[in-house]
Amino acid sequence: MAFAAVAERTEPVLKTQAERWWAALAHAAVLLLGFGTALPALVWMQQRKSARVVAQQALQALVWQSLLPVFYQLLLLIWGLTVVGLSFLGNVRAMVSGLLWGLALLLGLGSVFYLGVGVLAAVVCLMGRPFCYPFFGRALTLALAKDLPGDDLAETEERVSAAMAHAGILMPLIGMAVPLCTLVAARQGSRRLRFQSWQALAVQGIANVLNLVLPVLASFPLALIAAVALTLSSSQPVDLPSGLMQGLLLLSLILLALCFVVALLLPLLAVFAFIASIQVLRGREYVYPLLGGWIRRRLGDSFVERPV
């Protein structure tokens, strides 16, 4: 099977009841559909020194739950490709009802699979066995097993946690909990992890502010245009000064231009965060354009461990 309990030992690896509950809590957070991403990060931070097996389970849960947006985007991509394929075979309009039902079924089955894997992981851990997630669990478990048990923050563990800190941008607001936890975990450890966590926290903070600003910026020009249109189309039109009309039009254009810039920045930040996740997973240092250099200067060049 692609995923199962790692049961190569005759005795449960999660020996104490506390370890089992901590690991199960990290996995069960999947039921919160993204809002519980902070839980596995907190479990990892809490247990990384006292129970390495629990910390490794929490890291797997963190990766799985951070992939929630990617998982549903893949489902929508599959549905979209199906629609395109069917369009070459017949009239898509005649199949709209079936396609919508197909989308609902696909999302439903996908949700059952995604949530079911997390619930199964929690049950397996309650039984005292560690769990391997599909697609990445076995490889991650083997990589983490190479770390020395005595390390304060082992290399593989550090790379995975830093990558998930950057990937937290996929979860607006709640995703900031991941770099916050990695910052606390590395406050007396790896300087490189702290640098990556500060970068991830800053980028996600900017992205969250832009997410809040964008609808506000978009509402003003739309409201101005609607107000002018209603005034001009009313039965008793109001004569507005030409200067005022030009000013409102100019203001609307400026706000629309700002909306366009913000709308471009949001996916651009997500792309940078994706690249950062891949780079740090490969053991390389990543510095965000402009922002990363500023954070490095603020922290001090000696703060960052440069790769040899």
Say whether both 109 and 226 belong to one domain.
no
Question: CB-based contacts of 99: which residues, under 8 Å, 6+ apart?
Answer: 79, 82, 83, 86, 92
Dist. CA 40–CA 164, nearest whole Å = 11
- In eight-state DSSP terms, residue 305 is P
- Band of pLDDT at residue 198, cut at 50, 70 and 90: very high
Q: Which of 145, 163, 182 is the last residue of a domain?
A: 145
Say whether both 135 and 247 belong to one domain.
no
- Number of structural domains (the chain) is 2
Tell me, yes or no, whether 22 lies in a domain: yes
**What mean pLDDT is predicted for residues 164-171?**
87
Q: Report percent pLDDT > 70 for the chain.
A: 80
Tell me, yes or no, whether 175 lies in a domain: no
Tell me, yes or no, whether 40 lies in a domain: yes
- Band of pLDDT at residue 282, cut at 50, 70 and 90: confident
Tell me, yes or no, whether 21 lies in a domain: yes
- For residue 209, the enclosing domain spans 205-303
Say whether both 243 and 137 belong to one domain.
no
Tell me, yes or no, whether 227 lies in a domain: yes
Q: How far is CA 193 from CA 68, 154, 304, in A?
A: 24, 11, 9
Q: Which of 145, 172, 197 is the last residue of a domain?
A: 145
What's the predicted TM-score (pTM) here?
A: 0.73
For helices 155-167 and 177-185, give the axis angle rounded to 10 degrees.
Answer: 150
Question: CB-based contacts of 205: which residues, under 8 Å, 6+ apart?
Answer: 176
**What mean pLDDT is predicted for residues 49-62?**
89
- Band of pLDDT at residue 158, cut at 50, 70 and 90: confident
Higher pLDDT, 65 or 234: 65
Say whether both 30 and 98 belong to one domain.
yes
Q: Look up residue 221 and give its two tokens.
A: 């020009």
Alpha-helical regions (H) of 7-95: 17-28, 38-47, 52-66, 68-87
Tell me, yes or no, whether 86 lies in a domain: yes
pLDDT tens per residue across span 213-232: 888 877 877 777 776 666 66
Q: Which of 127, 145, 163 is the last residue of a domain?
A: 145
Q: Look up residue 263 and give its two tokens.
A: 């709308």
Say whether both 54 and 141 belong to one domain.
yes
**What mean pLDDT is predicted for residues 175-186?**
83
Q: Look up residue 81 and give its two tokens.
A: 């490709």
Tell me, yes or no, whether 157 lies in a domain: no
Dist. CA 70–CA 32, nearest whole Å = 16
**pLDDT given for residue 103 in this prediction:** 83
The total number of residues written for the chain in this structure: 308
Tell me, yes or no, whether 11 lies in a domain: no
pLDDT tens per residue across span 4-52: 544 444 345 888 999 999 999 999 999 988 777 888 988 988 888 788 8
